Amino acid sequence: MKKVIIIGATSGIGKELASQYIQRGWKVGITGRRKELLDERKKQEPEKVYTACFDVQGDENIPRVKDLIQELNGMDLFIYNAGVGDVSSQLDWEIEKRTYQTNVKGFIELVHFAFNYFIEKGEGQIVVISSIASIRGNSFAPAYSASKAFASNYCEGLSLKAKRLKKKVVITDVQPGFVATAMAKGKGRIWEAPVAKAVNQIIKAISQKKRLVYITRRWALVAWIMKWVPWFVYKRIG
């Protein structure tokens, strides 16, 4: 039986990912800050679900994930889905700090650990839920777009490193546009995908061992435009 650990699985994309992997017969380790939601999921599938309650902003990330791996008796797939993305119109330091601690500090600590775990094992897959916002800076949520750029660039670097080490470790960078979760904020949310649709495409990309995927697929066009639009144009909308 294959085993997956999902960091940030009490709501939204992470919760749906857990549900779909359970349906596929996987043993699933889920983490989050809200113990009551983790306990509720454990009660529903006690033989398939394993839980660890912790905040990735804290100092218990590695010990708690190690315990979860031991409970699962291994790990084949690691998904980092934890993230915050609050609008910081006045450049509020508390928002910037929370974004950094979750999207950068917690992210790199756990993905670094998972990468070395799979290198030692000889194979495995890491999936990072980044964002289309990683492509350019954003005045509405500058720390968020910067943190996602960090995550996506780190994924690319790890992909190259795995190839240089000649290990079968796949890194999949998932860049969603708007998905109908609590993370989607503000007006003008075009092409907002239902969670189930987004997760179906994510799981397909994981199974195909994609390095980079846009969710939903039409956001690949937006990504291409954002990459190439010149500064004198982008500064009016960014």
Beta-bridge mates of residue 173:
128, 212
**Total domain count for the chain?**
1
**Quick check: 182 pLDDT over 80?**
no
**Quick check: 227 pLDDT over 80?**
yes
The residue range of the domain holding 113 is 3-234
Mean pLDDT of the chain: 92
**Helix 61-72 × helix 107-121 angle, to 10°:** 40
Residue listed under structure tokens 């350019």: 136
Write down the pLDDT at residue 216.
Answer: 87
> 12 Cβ partners below 8 Å, 6+ apart?
81, 179, 181, 182, 183, 195
**Quick check: 186 pLDDT over 80?**
no
**Which CATH number do you get for residue 100?**
3.40.50.720
Q: Is the pTM above the cut of 0.85?
A: yes
Question: What's the half-sphere exposure (Cβ side, CA atoms, 13 Å) at 206?
Answer: 22
The rounded distance, in Å, linking the Cα atoms of 35 and 41 is: 10
Question: Quick check: bond before 102 cis, omega within 30?
Answer: no
Q: What H or E segment, with its residue span, contains residue 100?
A: helix 93-100
Q: What is the pLDDT of residues 128-153, one digit of tens each?
A: 999 999 999 989 999 999 999 999 99
Write down the pLDDT at residue 190.
Answer: 66
SS3 127: strand
Name the percent of the chain lying above pLDDT 90. Answer: 77
